[in-house]
Chain A
């Protein structure tokens, strides 16, 4: 059974850098892409970007200038850094497996438990 466990700092001040890590337990790490998705309180879901085992990335253009994703295949972990955060970045951040390509689809099938990041002065 695949499990994603995530962690990182929960309270940041404006202009600081958000840092989250997600560890993958079970299943193959190198055979998949891995994503970060966020959800502001009471709002919908926003895909931040994805990374594969070789470190190739694809970021959402809306956040691209501030996002860096990295991978550590020796630990089956991947990470997110989001720089220059503001209150608008306050959200529940999820790591997820995917997009997993299956025919005419690409979906997220396993998710982390979520990590609330609050940006406040």
Chain B
């Protein structure tokens, strides 16, 4: 299985802040990397696929970058509705695996 490690596990930020979340894969996954947002009590929502492609309807303040083993999710200006848990997920090989999550708190 490909291990996905996110850092930090949690962070505190304020509205308007620029936030960066890291995800590291246990082996080269090229750009087979997706990002999801999960708000309390809801199903995860796809934000970014193929490391840097913005899913339709997702605000442009979200962006993704990286390839190989190191990836980053950036929120350029944090909004109140962005306080949530963010997960990365690799789709390079089966079984598909997720990172442990990063909780973005006020």
Contacts and interface: CB of A to CB of B under 8 A. Distances in A.
Q: Is the interface of A mostly helix, strand, loop or mixed?
A: loop
B98 A109 contact: no
A58 B94 contact: yes
A105 B43 contact: no
Contacts of B34: 105, 107-108
A46 interface: yes
A47 B97 contact: yes
Interface residues of A, number: 23
Nearest to A106: B91
A108 B32 contact: no
Q: Is the interface of B mostly helix, strand, loop or mixed?
A: loop
Interface string A41-64: 000111100000000001011100
Given A44-B101, A45-B98, A47-B97, A105 B91 contact: yes
A105 B31 contact: yes
Contacts of B30: 104
Contact of A108 (B44, B50, B95): B44
B43 A111 contact: yes
Closest 10 A/B residue pairs (Cβ): A105-B50, A111-B43, A106-B91, A60-B95, A45-B98, A105-B49, A47-B96, A107-B34, A107-B49, A104-B31
Interface of A: 44-47, 58, 60-62, 94, 96, 99, 102-109, 111-114
Given A47-B98, A107-B34, A111-B45, 5 more contacts: A47-B95, A47-B96, A102-B49, A106-B96, A111-B44
